Amino acid sequence: MSTLTVAIICGGPSSEHDVSCVSGGGVLKGLDTESFTPILIGITKAGKWVALDENYPLAIKNKVMPTIEDNGTSVQLSTGGLVINGNFVQIDCIFPVLHGEFGEDGKIQQLLEDAHIPYVGSGVKASADAMDKAKSKELFVAAGMKVAPGVVLTRHEPVPDAKRFTYPVFVKPSSGGSSRGTHKVKAADHLSAAIEDAFLYDDKVLIETAIKGREIECAVLERDGTSYASVLGEIVVDPRFEFYDFEAKYLDDATTVKIPAEISEADTQSIQIAAIKAFDAIGCSGLARCDFFYTDDNQIIMNEINTMPGFTGTSVYPKLWDATGVSYTQLISGLIESALNK
Ligand SMILES: Nc1ncnc2c1ncn2[C@@H]1O[C@H](COP(=O)(O)OP(=O)(O)O)[C@@H](O)[C@H]1O
Ligand SMILES: [Mg+2]
**How wide is the angle at C-alpha 196 spanned by C-alphas 192 and 199, nearest 5°?**
140
Q: What is the pLDDT of residue 103?
A: 95
- 323 CA to centre of ligand 1 in angstroms: 25
* Residue nearest (by alpha carbon) to ligand 1 atom 8: 170
The reported pLDDT for the residue numbered 248 is 87
Q: What is the pLDDT of residue 75?
A: 98
Distance CA 11, CA 19 (A): 8
Q: Element (H or E) spanning 334, and its range?
A: helix 328-340
Distance CA 105, CA 114 (A): 16
How does pLDDT run across 266-319, given as a tens digit for each residue?
Answer: 999 999 999 999 999 999 999 999 999 999 999 999 999 999 999 998 899 999
Question: According to the model, what pLDDT value does residue 142 have?
Answer: 98
pTM of the model: 0.96
Kindly provide the b/e burial profile for residues 298-334, where b requires at least 16 CB atoms within 10 angstroms of the residue's own CB: eebbbbbbbbbbbbbbebbbbbbbbbbebebbebbbb
Residues with C-beta less than 6 Å from any ligand 1 atom: 148, 170, 172, 176-179, 182, 208, 210-211, 215, 243-244, 291, 303-304
Same fold, 4-119 and 150-209: no
pLDDT, mean of residues 311-337: 96
Cis peptide bond upstream of 173, omega within 30: no
Q: Which ligand is nearest to the CA of 171?
A: 1
The backbone torsions φ and ψ at residue 176, rounded to the nearest 5 degrees and listed phi first, read -145, -175
Question: Looking at the CA of 130, which ligand is closest?
Answer: 1
Res. 6: pLDDT tops 90 = yes
CA-proximal residue: ligand 1, atom 2 (nearest): 210
Q: How many CA atoms lie within 13 A of 38 on its CB side?
A: 25
Mean pLDDT for 14-26 is: 93
Atom in ligand 1 nearest the alpha carbon of residue 148? 1
CA distance 192 to 185: 10
Q: Which atom of ligand 1 lies nearest, measured to the CA of 133?
A: 17
Whether the bond between 260 and the residue before it is cis, its omega within 30 degrees of 0, is yes
Q: Residue 286: which residues within 8 A CB-CB, separation 6 or more?
A: 120, 121, 122, 221, 222, 335, 338, 339
Average pLDDT rounded to a whole number, residues 80-107:
97
Nearest ligand 1 atom to the CA of 208 is 1
Q: Which of 224, 219, 212, 253 is nearest to 236 (CA)?
A: 253
Percent of the chain residues topping a pLDDT of 70: 100
Terminal C-alpha separation, the chain: 23
Q: How far is the CA of 290 from the centre of ligand 2 (A)?
A: 9
Q: Is 117 annotated as a binding residue?
A: no
What's the pLDDT at 1? 59
Average pLDDT over residues 240-244: 92
CA nearest neighbour of 115 among 151, 162, 82, 157: 82
Class (C level, CATH) for 4-119: alpha beta
List pLDDT tens digits, range 42-70: 999 999 999 999 999 999 888 888 999 99
What average pLDDT does the segment 87-93 reach?
98
Amino acid at 135: K
Q: Domain ranges for the chain, please list them.
A: 4-119, 129-146+212-340, 150-209
Q: Which CATH superfamily is domain 150-209 in?
A: ATP-grasp fold, A domain (3.30.1490.20)
Ligand 1 geometric centre to CA of 295 (Å): 14
Share of the chain above pLDDT 90, in %: 89
Report the CATH number of the 129-146+212-340 domain: 3.30.470.20
Could you report the per-residue pLDDT of 137-172, keeping only the tens digit for each?
999 999 999 999 999 999 988 888 999 999 999 999
3 has pLDDT over 70? yes
User: If DSSP states are collapsed to H, E and C, what string results for 255-285?
Assistant: EEEECCCCCCHHHHHHHHHHHHHHHHHHCCC
Q: In this structure, what are the phi and psi dihedrals at residue 82, rounded to the nearest 5 degrees?
A: -125, 145
- Note the pLDDT of residue 342: 85
CA of 70 from ligand 1 middle (Å) equals: 34
Q: Which of 101, 172, 186 best tests ligand 1's pocket when mutated (most atoms within 8 Å of CB)?
A: 172
Cα 77 to middle of ligand 1, angstroms: 36
Q: For ligand 1, what atom is nearest to the CA of residue 180?
A: 22
Query: 196 C-alpha to center of ligand 1: Å?
Result: 18
* CA nearest ligand 1 atom 15, residue: 179
- The answer to whether the annotation marks 163 as part of a ligand binding site is no
Q: Whose CA is nearest to atom 19 of ligand 1?
A: 179
From atom 10 of ligand 1, which residue's Cα is the shortest distance away?
Answer: 170
What atom of ligand 1 comes closest to residue 179's alpha carbon?
A: 22
Q: What is the pLDDT of residue 117?
A: 98
The per-residue pLDDT for 158 is: 86
Residue 252 has pLDDT above 80, yes or no: no
240 marked as binding residue: no
Which amino acids are annotated catalytic? 16, 178, 315
Please check if 133 is assigned to a binding site: yes
- For 143, phi then psi, to 5°, come to -85, 5
Q: Counting Cβ atoms within 10 Å, is residue 110 exposed (0-12), middle (13-18) or buried (19+)?
A: middle
Mean pLDDT of the chain: 95
Residue 233 predicted with pLDDT over 70? yes
